[in-house]
Amino acid sequence: MTGPVARIDLDAMRHNLSRVRELAPGSPVVVAIKANAYGHGLIESAQALVDADAYGVARVEEGLQLRREGVSKKIMVLEGFASHAELMLCQGRDFELVIHDISQITQLEDYLTSERTHHASQDDAAFVVWIKIDTGMHRIGIPAGESRAAIEKLRQLPNVKLVGILTHMASADDRKSDYTQLQLQQFESCIDPELEVSIANSACLLNWPQSVMGWVRPGIMLYGASPFSDSTAADEGLQAVMTLRTHLIAVHELKKGDAVGYGGAWRCPEDMRIGVAAIGYGDGYPRHAPNGTPVLVDGKHAALAGRVSMDMITIDLRNVAQARVGSSVVLWGEGLPVEEVAAAAGTISYELFCRLTARVKFRYEGKELLNHL
C-alpha cells in the first residue's frame, strides 16, 4: 500500500509526560491536547496521557468532544467561551473556563441573570473559571493592572467559582531573552494567596525553572519535540512520538541539466537519480519546504529536489545507491528529528504536526497499555 502513515508511539508520549513530572515535581499537570493533540489524535493522546491532572483544549467544542467520548477528567478551556450560546453548551460539562477579556465577565453576568429566570435549580449554573492575565504577550489576557478588579468582580458573581490565575510567555523559547523574567515579575504582582497559579508551557518547563509553580501546561514536549531552535528532543530528554513515513513510487535516471517537477525548481547538476515519494501538501507536507529539506530514504540521508506537489515529492537520491521503488521514506521522526525538517522548511514542529490532513493514516503503538477514559 502506498501513501503516508504516521506512526504514533504512545509509550514515548508517556515517557515525555514522566519528563514533565521530573521537571515539575508536585505540580499538577494540564496536558495541552488542543488541535487534535497537535495532530497526534485527540482521543488516543488523551488515553495515553490519562495520568495527567487535567486536559487543556483551546475551544469549547474540543472540550465537548472529549466529554462525548466519555472523558470525566478535569478539562481546562484555554480560550474560554465566546458567546451566550457557548456558555449554555458549557453548563453542566464541568469545564474550567479561562476568562481572558472583561467582555466575558459581562457575558457571564448576563447569562447568570437570564438563566436564573429560566432554571429552578441554580446548581447547574455553576461555572469554574480561571483568569488569564496579560503580562506582556499582548495576545489574550486581562492587563495585569486590571486583574485585581476582575478578580473582585468574579468573586461577586453567584454560581461562579474562581480558582486561579494564569499567564502565557511570549519568548520562553528564546534562552537569551530577558522578557520571560519581566513577564514573571508582572505576574507576581497579581498573585492572590487564595488563588491557584499557572505559567509554564514546555519552554518554561525546560528552561525557566523560576516559572515552574502551580499548574504546568506542557504541549509540544509531550509530542517529543523541542520548543527551542537550538536543541532537539533528545537533547531535552524527550522521545519522538510521531514518525511520518511513505514510500518511493518511482525512480528515474536523469541527465545533467534535466528539470524536475513544477517550474523546474530543481535542475540536475549532474547525471543522477531522482526518487518520487507518495506524500505532498495534500497530506500536509509543507509546500514551502525548499530544495535540500532533509528526508531519509531506506534510513539514509537524502534531500528534496524540486517543488512539493499535492500528492508527491521528488528526492535527490545521489546519497542512496540502493533506493528503488518501494523504498521507505521518512519525512520526520525516527532517525530524522522533526526540528531539522521544521528549520529547513522555515517553520516549527508544532505547525508540521498540526497540518497533517485526514489522508494520512495513523497507526498507534503502545495502545495495548491504554487505560479506558
Ligand X SMILES: *Cc1c(COP(=O)(O)O)cnc(C)c1O
Q: 3-state class of 310 per DSSP?
A: coil
Minimum Å gap between C-beta 202 and ligand X is 3
The three grid cell numbers given for residue 342, joined into one nine-digit string: 521544521
Kindly list the distances between the CA atom of residue 154 and the CA atoms of 73, 306, 356, in Å, as whole numbers in the listed order. Answer: 24, 57, 40
The distance of closest approach from Cβ of residue 58 to ligand X in the complex, given in angstroms and rounded to an integer, is 6
Contact 363, 5 (CB under 8 A): yes
Closest CA to 351 of 289, 284, 291: 284
Residues 141/134, Cβ–Cβ less than 8 Å: yes
Q: Whose Cβ is closer to ligand X: residue 94's or residue 351's?
A: 351
DSSP classification of residue 290: P
Question: Min. distance of Cβ 257 from ligand X in angstroms?
Answer: 45
Question: What's the Rg (C-alpha) of the chain?
Answer: 24
* Residues contributing to the site for ligand X (CB under 6 A): 32, 34, 78, 168, 201-203, 217-220, 227
Shortest gap between Cβ of 172 and ligand X (angstroms)? 8
DSSP tally for the chain: helices H, then strands E: 11, 18
| Residues belonging to the active site | 34, 262
153/168 with CB nearer ligand X: 168
The three-state secondary structure class of 251 is strand
Measure the CA–CA gap between 12 and 231, rounded to whole angstroms. 18
Q: Which is nearer to ligand X, 10 or 78 (CB)?
A: 78
Residue 266 CB, nearest distance to ligand X (Å)? 34
Rounded least distance, CB 86 to ligand X, Å: 18
Least distance CB 270 / ligand X (angstroms): 43
Alpha carbons 56 and 217: distance in angstroms, whole number: 8
Q: Is 153 helix (H, G, I), strand (E, B) or coil?
A: helix
Cβ proximity to ligand X: between 21 and 300 the closer is: 21
Report the residue number, 207 or 314, with the smaller CB distance to ligand X. 207
Residue with Cβ nearer ligand X (153 or 217): 217
Q: How far is CA 275 from CA 14, 79, 150, 266, 359, in A?
A: 36, 44, 60, 13, 21
**Closest chain position to ligand X (CB):** 219
Concatenate the DSSP letters of all residues of 102-140 into one string: HHHHHHHHHHHHHHHHH-S-SGGG-EEEEEEEESS--SS
Q: Which is nearer to ligand X, 226 or 246 (CB)?
A: 226
As a whole number of angstroms, the distance between CA 25 and CA 185 comes to 23
Round to whole Å and give the CA distance between 308 and 291. Answer: 9
Assess contact for 15 and 38: CB atoms under 8 A: no
